[in-house]
Amino acid sequence: MKMEIKSGSEAATALLSGEIDHHNAKELRSQLDKFIISVQPALLVMDFKNITFMDSSGIGLIMGRSKLIKECGGSLEVKNTQPYIRRVLRLSGIERIVKIT
Amino acid sequence: MEIINEIKFTMPSLSVNEASARAVVSSFLIQADPTVEELSDIRTAVSEAVTNAVVHGYRNTKGNVELTVKLLANREIYIRIKDRGCGISDVKQAMEPLFTTAPEEERSGLGFSVMESFMDILKVKSSVGKGTTVVMRKRLSPHEN
């Protein structure tokens, strides 16, 4: 599991690679929270282009980061989700809270 | 139902073994030539069940998680995930969407919902102090020769 965060003038992008499960989510959560708290981006985009697997642990990861970034005055988007990942996300109704494409 | 092939895999309740369980299931299912979507569904359901055993079954302890996968004659996949952990006092409540006893770990409470949605049949048996057994079945689409 790898993650690369790039800060732009309007948005920050976290490019995630690998599999998101309960085991990997802990490390991702820690890295993303550190970034959100220190940089406080207006918009953070989680790019799922290179995600090869995700179970419901990903829902908790997205929801938790969405809550934290809102508390810091910003917003979260998730992009490049593959169809099977959207099927997991749809079960949670998270698409009503976070923009997912 | 006639069993074509069967595999049993026992692993300690380490979170890293959530991926091990997915890998074992994926390797075993190659022989049945599932579609990408079927394989993804089964891998996801297995990941949820093993995570439940690690996070909830063995919350403050360690133990073994047993995974059994069978390929049946009608192209049905039978999967059993068994732990000997703390068990679930109210299975019906545990299976309600969004119910979780581990919000501090950001568990969404959707594990059973995912298993139910992605598999054809889900059965959960649990006994407090003895453990939990999850049985799931999914029929693969007819094989095209």
Q: Which residue has the higher pLDDT, B101 or A87?
A: A87
**Mutual angle of helices A57-71 and A83-92, in 10-degree steps:** 70
Burial class (CB in 10 A: 0-12, 13-18, 19+), B61: exposed
- Alpha-carbon separation of residue A33 from A18, A25, A65 (angstroms): 19, 12, 7
**The listed CATH number (3.30.750.24, 3.30.70.360, 3.90.1150.10, 3.40.109.10) that belongs to domain A2-100:** 3.30.750.24
B38, B44, B55, B101: best to mutate for the A interface, most A CBs within 10 A:
B44
Q: What is the pLDDT of residue B53?
A: 97
Q: What confidence tens digit (pLDDT) does each residue in A40-72 have?
A: 999 999 999 999 999 999 999 999 999 999 999
Judge: A22–B51 Cβ closer than 8 Å, yes or no.
Answer: yes
- Chain B environment of A60 (Cβ under 8 Å): 105-108
Phi, psi of B61 (to 5 degrees): -135, -175
If DSSP codes are grouped into helix, strand and coil, which group holds residue B77?
strand
Lookup: tokens for B111? 């594990």
Average pLDDT score, chain B = 94
Judge: B106–A25 Cβ closer than 8 Å, yes or no.
Answer: yes
Beta strands per DSSP E along A21-101: 43-54, 75-79, 99-100
| CB of B37 less than 8 A from some CB of A | yes
Find residues 84-103 of chain B whose CB sits inside 8 Å of chain A: 97
Model ipTM value:
0.92
Q: Which CATH superfamily is domain B3-139 in?
A: Histidine kinase-like ATPase, C-terminal domain (3.30.565.10)
| Average pLDDT value for residue range B35-44 | 97
Q: What confidence tens digit (pLDDT) does each residue in B117-139 have?
A: 999 999 999 999 999 999 999 99
Judge: B15–A29 Cβ closer than 8 Å, yes or no.
Answer: no
Active site residue B107: yes
Judge: A91–B106 Cβ closer than 8 Å, yes or no.
Answer: no
Active site residue B52: yes
Give the residue extent of every domain in chain B. 3-139
Gap between the Cα atoms of A54 and A40, Å rounded: 26
B18, B25, B40, B108: best to mutate for the A interface, most A CBs within 10 A:
B108
Phi, psi of B106 (to 5 degrees): 60, 35
Confidence class for position B144, pLDDT limits 50, 70, 90:
low
| Average pLDDT value for residue range B52-70 | 96
Judge: A22–B105 Cβ closer than 8 Å, yes or no.
Answer: yes
